[in-house]
Amino acid sequence: MASVSTYLNFRNKSEAALNFYASVFGTEIQGIMRHGDVPGAELSDDDKNLVMNAALPILGGHMLMTSDIPQSMGMELTTGNNVQITLHPDTRAEADRLYAALSEEGRPGTPMQEMFWGDYYGELVDKFGIHWLINCSSKV
């Protein structure tokens, strides 16, 4: 079956982000490959332990993929508003829970509220700089 995933890149924070998101969504990380797993990779011991690829199921079968971008390998990372993840929870209570958990130590933006298009909606930036949009169509 075809699917879509969202890929997030970090500077040495991928595993911390994965653990945080696993606690928010109540799921488990599925298979972590490390940069040191690459045959013949010439990396520092610190860079060898960084996440090359990992997956975490979040809502509705959607996979969140992450990777560390080691500067020592000449890779550049620009954190900004180029990635936004939109969640569509089934209930307003779940929308509120996700908003509170994801905004912890982050930057709350638009609080969860009824919007002009009829949905319950809010925005935030989490402690890792990832932008989240939460949109709930349910009235309960």
pLDDT for 74: 77
pLDDT over 70 at 2, yes or no: no
Stretch among 1-5, 36-40, 130-134 having the lowest mean pLDDT: 1-5
State the average pLDDT over residues 8-35.
95
Examine the pLDDT at 22 and tell me if it is beyond 80. Answer: yes
Domains located in the chain, CATH noted: 5-72 (3.10.180.10), 84-136 (3.10.180.10)
Residue 1 has pLDDT above 80, yes or no: no
pLDDT at 14: 95
How does pLDDT run across 42-81, given as a tens digit for each residue?
A: 888 889 999 999 999 999 999 999 999 888 877 788 777 6
pTM (predicted TM-score): 0.86
Secondary structure, 3-state, the chain: CCCCEEEEEECCCHHHHHHHHHHHHCCCCEEEEEHHHCCCCCCCHHHHCCEEEEEEECCCCCEEEEEECCHHHCCCCCCCCCCEEEECCCCHHHHHHHHHHHHCCCEECCCCEECCCCCEEEEEECCCCCEEEEEECCCC
